[in-house]
Chain A
Amino acid sequence: MRNYILKRILKSFVSIFAVVSIIIVMIYTMIPSEKVFDNDAGAKKMKGDQLTTYKLKKLEELGYHDYVSKIDMCTATFGDGAQSCIDGDEAKLKEASDAYAASGYEILTLKSGEPYALHTYKWYELIARFYKRLLVIDNKNAIQDPEDPDMERKYYWGKNPENGSPALLCQGCTYKYQMWFDGSFPFIHQNKFKLDFGTSFPTNSGIPTMQVITDGQGSTKKINQTFDTGLNEESALIQTSCQYKVQVDHLDAKRFTDKYANCRSYHESPSMVNTSYILGLIALVIAYVMGLPLGMAMAAHKDKLLDKIGIAYINLLIAVPSLAFIFFMRSIGTLFNLPDKFPQLGFNDIRSYIMPVLILALLQTPSLMMWLRRYMIDQSNADYVKFARAKGLSQNEIFRKHILRNAIIPIVNGIPASIILCISGALITESAFAVPGMGKMLPDAIKQTNNNMVITLVFIFTSLSILSVLIGDLLMTVVDPRISLTAKGGE
């Protein structure tokens, strides 16, 4: 069993690797890089060589190519004696550009005649660069500050400024707080391992994509907290998120005794991840609370009126395009004075949530009802049911204690997998209601040509779905010990 799980996890990684790699190569090679600037306000203000160099630098930042300007070329080739090359020594410049041309660079010239070297990454380089950057492990030698070269580097125990519980701190790392505990999910938090997907562009320009989707939204929220220096004030800074800052200003010095002063902020509204998560989870619970009893009732009254109505409902929901269904439900919602767009009333009003959650839940019910009904009807012809009936058990007892317990097993397998449905359902629902969550973020990022964001979301969605299928299979073996995932069947 352990071997099987290890194998499955390994295969999951291979799946994620395959899908994400294909998508990276497709996005970087098939979409013209010019499209990145279609929605960039900065590029619209520039023209000529300024625009060309801006684009070259930006695309280098986004990982399309390696751009080496004339100055960099000269410096890299001649070191300290580069000045004459930069100033226009033809022979030296030729030598420098030849060196770059020899190592696979293309030598191009700007309109002003200034040469530069450009190396567009091949597909395998794109993949290698992505995975090389992906996992960032914070260590105590991470910070090399020229102003403080002899910094003492150590891990030590301190306490979480929010609640006083113990926390693992570090001096010399990028993040001061390496590990801490608090009351919010998942209770143990860490800054040691981070995923780096690059920065978002052109929307939220320059901010890492992970930060865009995990940071709170809306205006900052100030809460009363005590800083290292003993200063007690209303501040929005999240102390556990503080990173090393080379240039500390006097405001930082008032709060912090060290140079870890680059902190993220508390926000009024939950982050994109949390928004999707809240909606999805509530919807999932509602779907099961509604779908399971209905499916059971349909199986119990097979071929009666209730069953027929249920089948009509299932067929209707499968056949009607989800978009049409969502808009229909939304207009019903407006009859009850519920908003047709999430931001109208915002996060703090319960009415904003009712329709999106209800629609997400309803979209999940038909498959749930259909399968539970199917499994229960199949089970009700089994020998053990006939035996139970012969023993004189009541119909109700047979149904609840015998049939349901066997029929629920495949449903249990599907619980984690319905997270997948949640995601794809959330894509449409969140777009229709303009809910600021991850589901809406993906189409938005695609429309804005925000490639790093697209890759980030694909990575997250893919990993989530693969993980949920794995957990579903494992959960099934827990619920029903007869099931073995490792047994070999068939030929």
Chain B
Amino acid sequence: MSELNKDDLFTIDLSDDSESEHIAAPQYSYWRSVFRKFFSSKLAIFMMILSGIVILLAIFQPMISGYDPNVTPNINRPEMKYIRPNATYWFGTDDVGNSLFDAVWKGTATSLFVSFMATAITTVLGVAVGMWWGFSKRVDTVMIEVYNIVSNIPATLIAMILVYAIGGGVWQIIFALSVTSWVSTAYFIRVQVMIIRDREYNLASRCLGTPTWKIITHNILPYLISVIMTSVSRDVPSFISYEVFLSFIGVGLGQQYASLGRMIQQYSPYMTSTPYLFWIPVAISALISVSLYIVGQTLADASDPRTHMI
């Protein structure tokens, strides 16, 4: 027998173990799917562009114009007052001779700032406390009583009384709007956490010794993104609405601030004589909240993984 060559009998196949891990499935990336879903809605794209323009105008237009409601250079020049909208003054001029275009964007900036800040505080505080609340029984016994007290009373009432007591500045309004609303967000999150927390995969995770903190951040929080988005998309327009309302009834921002609500209140007697003074702030306030609401709702829908199936 001739000696066999070892190499003829066996060949060493250096296979790549990682390849066996590969499962043939379509590529999935969460955020890419979110954006694909979001951009499939033409209305949402249109509204996003619209709200983008509004936000940019509200940020940069007041910087250029330097509008300040307390500075009224044309107050003694009757020919400058009540000019109808034209090429020079796009939105006309108001009762003290200032350009309404400047005033409206300054007011929008205030409304947006108040609403975004209040939403941010409400959401961050609400989610943080809601998580804790859903996990800890001790927190639950205390917080459920707090929730029972707060949820029973109209939020408008609390906000009004708070602004009345602490005064009408921008930060005071933000405080008044967020001081009670975070409890409702926290409660909403608590219920969601309680539903998810005892699912099998979380029980398994706990058995394997995952710390609670990691369960919260890795297992539960990603699940709640769409829920949180829904709540944000509701909060933003509702806070704009509240700010406008508070300023309208005269307990919101004081005279020294430009605010859409105060403009609406100030110009509502002019409804028949100079309707543009009244209707432009009304229309802008409606435009902002509708566009932000629709963008938020579409984003909330898109961030729900169940909608990603093709």
Partner of A319, one of B154, B165, B250, B294: B294
Residues in B with CB closer than 8 Å to A325 are 286
Given A321-B245, A323-B241, check contact A447 B250 (CB 8 Å): yes
CB-CB contacts of A409-453 with B at 8 A, as 1s and 0s? 000000000001001100110011000000000110011000000
**Closest-CB distance, B272 to chain A (whole angstroms):** 9
User: A442 contacts which chain B residues (CB < 8 A)?
Assistant: 157, 160
The reply to whether the CB of A318 lies closer than 8 angstroms to some CB of chain B is: yes
Q: Which residue of A lies closest to B246 (CB)?
A: A443
Partner of B137, one of A11, A323, A491: A491
Asked if A420 and B264 make an inter-chain contact with CB atoms under 8 angstroms apart, the answer reads: no
Q: Assuming A26-B161, A315-B297, A423-B154, is B264 touching A323 (CB within 8 A)?
A: yes
| CB <8 Å contact, B148 and A11 | yes
B237–A321 CB distance below 8 A: yes
Residues of A within 8 A of B292 (CB): 319
CA separation between A325 and B237, bound complex, in Å? 13
Complex: A340 Cα to B148 Cα, angstroms: 39
Question: In the complex, what's the smallest C-beta–C-beta distance from B284 to chain A, in angstroms?
Answer: 9
Is A318 touching B261 in the complex (CB atoms < 8 A)? no
B154 closest partner in A (C-beta): A424
User: In whole angstroms, what is the CA distance A134 to B37 when docked?
Assistant: 59
Which one of B145, B154, B290 has the highest number of Cβ atoms from chain A below 10 Å of its Cβ?
Answer: B154
Nearest residue (CB) in A for B291 is A319
B264 touches A465 (CB 8 A): no
Contact A446 B160 (CB under 8 A): yes
A462: chain B residues at CB < 8 Å are 152-153, 157
User: Shortest distance in angstroms between B247's beta carbon and chain A's nearest beta carbon?
Assistant: 9
Query: Is the C-beta of A390 less than 8 angstroms from some C-beta in chain B?
Result: no
Segment 19-39 of A: residues with Cβ below 8 Å from B: 19, 23, 26-27, 30-31
CB 8 Å contact bits of B240-261 with A (1 = contact, 0 = none) = 1100110011110000000001
- Choose among A19, A324, A328 the residue that contacts B153 (Cβ–Cβ < 8 A): A19
Within 8 A of B (CB), among A455-482: 458, 461-462, 465-466, 469
B146: min CB distance to chain A, Å? 10
| Prevailing SS type, chain B contact patch | helix
Please give the distance in Å from B224's CB to the nearest CB on chain A: 19
A331 CB within 8 Å of chain B? yes
**Chain B residue with Cβ nearest A447:** B250
Q: Check A91 for interface membership: any CB of B closer than 8 A.
A: no
B268 within 8 A of partner (CB): yes
Closest to B198 in A: A491
B264 touches A327 (CB 8 A): yes
**Cα separation A267 to B48 with both chains bound (whole Å):** 55
Closest to A445 in B: B164
| Count of chain A residues near B, Cβ 8 A | 45
Q: Does A454 contact B (CB under 8 A)?
A: yes
Interface size on B, residues (CB 8 A): 43
B-chain residues with CB within 8 Å of residue A30 when the two chains form the complex: 165-166
**Which listed residue, A11, A318, A324, A424, touches B157 by the CB 8 Å rule?**
A424
State whether A420 and B297 are in contact (beta carbons under 8 Å apart), knowing that A19-B149, A26-B161, A447-B250 are contacts in the complex: no
A379 on interface, CB distance cutoff 8 Å: no
Expressed in whole angstroms, the minimum distance between the Cβ of A345 and any Cβ of chain B is 17
- Given A27-B161, A27-B164 in contact, is the A427-B249 Cβ separation under 8 Å? yes
List B contacts of A321 (CB < 8 A).
237, 240-241, 244-245, 285-286, 289
Complex interface bits, B63-87 against A, C-beta within 8 A gives 1, otherwise 0: 0000000000000000000000000
Contact with B along A300-328 (1 / 0, CB 8 A): 00000000000000011011111111011
Known: A15-B148, A26-B162, A321-B245. A458 touches B157 (CB 8 A): yes
CB of B48 to closest CB in A, whole Å: 15
In the complex, chain B residues whose CB is within 8 Å of the CB of A319: 237, 286, 289-290, 292-294
Could you tell me which residues of chain B, from 277 to 298, have a CB within 8 Å of some CB in chain A? 278, 282-283, 285-286, 289-290, 292-294, 297
Taking the closest CB of chain B, its distance from the CB of A216, in whole angstroms, is 25
Q: Are B237 and A490 in contact (CB under 8 A)?
A: no
Residues of B within 8 A of A432 (CB): 268
Partner of B161, one of A23, A316, A491: A23
Report the minimum CB–CB distance from A471 to chain B (whole Å).
Answer: 12
Chain A residues with Cβ below 8 Å from B250 are 443, 446-447
The answer to whether A323 touches B244, judged by C-beta atoms less than 8 angstroms apart, is: yes
Within 8 Å CB of B271, what residues of A? Answer: 327, 331, 340
Contact at B268–A327, with CB atoms within 8 Å?
A: yes
Among residues of B, the one whose C-beta sits closest to the C-beta of A455 is B161
The answer on a CB contact under 8 Å between A466 and B152 is yes
Asked whether A335 is an interface residue with its Cβ less than 8 Å from the other chain, the reply is no
Known: A443-B249, A469-B152, A490-B194. A320 touches B290 (CB 8 A): yes
In whole angstroms, what is the CA distance A447 to B283 when docked? 27
> How far apart sit A282 and B157, CA to CA, in the bound complex (Å)?
23
Select which of B162, B166, B194, B286 is within 8 A of A324 by beta carbon: B286
Q: 5 extra interchain contacts, Cβ-Cβ under 8 A, other than A321-B289, A466-B153?
A: A26-B161, A318-B293, A319-B293, A322-B241, A428-B249
23 CB < 8 A contacts A-B: A15-B153, A19-B149, A27-B165, A31-B164, A318-B293, A321-B237, A321-B240, A321-B245, A321-B289, A323-B261, A323-B264, A327-B278, A340-B271, A423-B157, A431-B248, A442-B157, A442-B160, A443-B251, A446-B164, A446-B249, A454-B161, A461-B153, A462-B153
